[in-house]
Amino acid sequence: MTMIPTTSVTLGSSHEEEEVEEELLSLMMDNDVAPPTTTTTTTSSSFTPDQEKQIINDLIHVSGSNAKPGDLFYLLSNRWYMEWLRYTGQDSDENSTVSTVCRPGQIDNHHLVIGGSDSYGDDLELLKTLQEGHDYVLVSQDVWKILYDWYKGGPALPRKMISQGVANKTLLVEVYPLCLQLIDARDDKQYAIRISKKATVRDLYNQVSVLLKLDEEKFRIWDYFNKKKSSVLAVADQDLEDANLQMDQDILVEVEQHLWPSGLGLDSTGNGLALVPVEPARSSITIAGGPTQSNGYSSGYISNFYEGNALGSPLTGAEDGYNLSKMAKGDRGGLSGLQNLGNTCFMNSSIQCLVHTPSLVEYFLHDYSAEINKQNPIGMQGELAIAFGELLRKLWSSGRAPIAPREFKTKLARFAPQFSGYNQHDSHELLAFLLDGLHEDLNRVKFKPYIEIKDATGRPDEEVADECWEIHKARNDSVIVDVCQGQYKSTLVCPVCGKVSVTFDPFMYLSLPLPSTVTRSMTITVFYGDGSALPMPYIVTVPKHGLYKDLFQALGTACCLNSDELLLLAEVYDHGIFRYLVNPLEQLFTIKDEEHIVAYRLPKKQEGFTRLEIVHESKENSGVRKRLGTPLVTFIAEAAQKSEDVQNAVQMVLSPLLKVKVCHPSNCIHTSMEDGFASENDIDGLFNAGNSGCRLRNQSVDKMELDQLSNGMDSFILSLTDEKGMHCSSIENDFHFRQDQFMRVILDWSDREYGMYNISFLEDLPVVHKTTTKKIRSEAISLFSCLEAFLKEEPLGPDDMWYCPTCKEHRQATKKLDLWRLPEILVVHLKRFSYSRYLKNKLDTFVNFPTHNLDLRNYVKSNVAARSHTYELYAISNHYGGLGGGHYSAYAKLSKENRWYHFDDSHVSSINEDEIKTSAAYVLFYQRVQEKRVDESSQVHSSSG
């Protein structure tokens, strides 16, 4: 979210230009923003693109510390915003050379609202599926007013900033306010009310009072979720979010006709709204299973709960559809669905997997009150554990009516603001938060001791691993650690001095990469920026759904890129560079098969150097000039500033194309030319001799011409041009230029150049080629191959370097992971999603995972004879469709029945075991098989289930 200052400014019309300019300059001075270097007015045509960029970016720069709850932000079409960024030179590709960038038209936000261009008014409703950064961006009120004054358009879509969370306050813009369906009990008329979830019950009464023209003391509002009277909204200062009100739910208004029923009345103190609940608030189920006491806890164990001894009377949750009295009869439980509260399928999927984890079911159905840690500063004072425990008990209290997890969602929003609101989220991210949050709430260690970890210093791995585990358990001891945490060994090796560092770290789950099942062959022509060799085409294989960085790495390996070099990739169109491919996180599918992609080998050290782009032109007999060949890119040295320096740079990069044989006798290689490219054997020979000084040419030139060329005399006709190629100026002998980051020149090809150079090397570029897919059999993409990809040795990334204690430098060390200690419950996350600045991609690869007898003995490096390393599947979190617009569900097994069920929000149905393996599997849940079951099994190493 863009954070902008909240100081207000109003921009006027053209006849008020001077006043508006003063107001704008005042605003900028108040925020320490430097005014534009050129004095202009603020009409729509007054500012240059650079000045517009300066004004907006300077406001953004000083905005962070000024944002506060209540500030107004505006939704702005991302489509329009990207046009403005390109217009002001701020698009993602800073080196883009698109010939024409027009000024954006009017702001158009109509595609963000229901009704589109036919929508009018101030209270417009947003489409439910909008995503920030894809459909819209958020800008402050000041920026909106400035942009609106410059460009006009609309409609304006203001939203307020709110503070979310308890321990860690998070500022966010409430893009989707709470929408409530108000029902008037007098005539059943319905009204839509949009109000902030941070508004109070008092605010809601005020809004209803105005809407229905009623005295606030003459009506009451019921929480009418699922068309059932849940409770009267009675606490005046309570947030609507804390009142558990959900998006699009019903509320019921009852108007006083007679005296209110006993127990409900108006406070006589006159402090606005002080309604008394119909009956005292109570928790429908408690930690121990008995009636709730005033402190929220009770004594006793689950045996009393099952026998009904602790129940004074049957408790029924009318809202949630469960009946505790049936549980005493021994009916089966665990088959209730969870209502979708608005894009909460991700939460429902994770919860169903956790509440069907046998160890957690047994724990939370017993009395766990003694283990709640309210002192943990990084915990949630036990509230998350209590909310989860109550939800688990509701789901296991028999009956198949769906449960509405409203209280749990409210607690989740309080402690994890990232999951608040009604957007789709990642079930694995929620699962990671829940496991960690439950651990901290149930940590038996009330005061964590400080223990210094000793260096391994050559000690046996077993000794160091046990020591690290004991240190971990001394600070972290909970049911989550008992059943869900394992330990792995991490080995780092310095590539310079060979220093080996071994650590043993705990893990809560394994996030496994998916080996790519589909690859793509791409042909890229590599040019040498220093003129050391001929251009060479390379065919590389990359993941079809990969990123630019995959192409950079594959091409760098193929062409043996030196450590002091980099590759600058570009798309060539109509004999010019259409765009540079510089963003490593961009998706590869943006490169089409029919495009021409080239790469320039250039030095890594570019500071102070000028990059020179050389475009080729010639004059036809008709006198019309046309472009030809492929542009060349090189660098001009830092000290160069004269025309002869440009001439020398052009001469250097063109030198491989000379029609003359120039080579050292000991390294002479003869080649043949076909279709403008050397044959494969010749290319290999050329590459191997590329740095030896060998240059192969098939014709000779006049010695005087070569001498003149070497001396830089009468060399080339060059013209300096702009990015659009529209304005040209001749580079004369007395031409001087200042050091800059970029220079483009046009090289005029006359008969002389055609006679000296073989331009065929610059023409007939190969296309990227048609995509070639190679599908691996689905059974070959097994869970074991994912695990092996996770455990393989690989170098750390450039942004994740390791500080070597021996070298005293950050090094790109190699890292190797090994499993050391496995937990009772093994959670396996399949990394199906990849992210970039603009795109999110999902791999729908089918992973063949075992349902029975997952044997990991070969992957555990501990020599200690430990418990079984064999596991059985009991739950799956599934994801269907694309990220953001997809859907989650869960498969879970009831062990006592030995049957699988499909939990799809409210709907629960049985499913055959042979149907649970799909490409939607996202998170897998395994339970350790007991030793005796391993002894009875004749085949424990099975990858097919």
- Active-site amino acid positions: 345, 887
Three-state SS string across 704-750, please?
A: HHHHHHHCCCCCCEEEEECCCCCCEEECCCCCECCCCCEEEEEEECC
CB of 718 closer than 8 Å to CB of 748: yes
In whole angstroms, what is the distance from residue 929 CA to residue 145 CA? 64
If phi > 0 it is left, if psi is from -120 to 50 it is alpha, else beta; for residue 199 that is beta
In whole angstroms, what is the distance from residue 342 CA to residue 351 CA? 16
Q: What is the DSSP letter of 259?
A: P
If phi > 0 it is left, if psi is from -120 to 50 it is alpha, else beta; for residue 268 that is alpha
Q: What is the DSSP letter of 619?
A: E
Number of H helices, E strands in the chain: 20, 41
C-alpha distance from residue 344 to each of 339, 421, 662, 887 (Å): 8, 10, 71, 9
Determine phi and psi for 873, rounding to 5 degrees: -75, 140
Q: What is the DSSP letter of 71?
A: -
What is the Cβ-side half-sphere exposure of residue 189, based on CA atoms within 13 angstroms? 6
Element (DSSP H or E) covering residue 875? strand 870-880
What 3-state DSSP class applies to 819? strand
In the block, residue with structure tokens 């001799």: 689
Which DSSP string corresponds to 90-143? -SS-TT---S--PPP-SEE-GGGBTTGGG--SS-PPBPTT--BTTTEEEEEHHH
Give the type of residue at 560.
C
Q: Which class for 900: exposed (0-12), middle (13-18), buried (19 or more C-beta within 10 A)? A: buried
In whole angstroms, what is the distance from residue 51 CA to residue 928 CA? 64
617 closest CA partner among 802, 754, 475: 754
C-alpha distance from residue 175 to each of 402, 416, 856, 932 (Å): 29, 18, 47, 56
Which DSSP string corresponds to 449-478? PP-PPPP-TT--HHHHHHHHHHHHHHH--S
Q: What is the DSSP letter of 833?
A: E
Bridge partners of residue 616, in order along the sequence: 628, 747
Bridge partners of residue 923, in order along the sequence: 829, 877
Distance between terminal CA atoms of the chain? Answer: 46
Q: For helices 406-415 and 383-395, what crossing angle results, to 10°?
A: 160
Q: 496 is written with which tokens? A: 């310079």
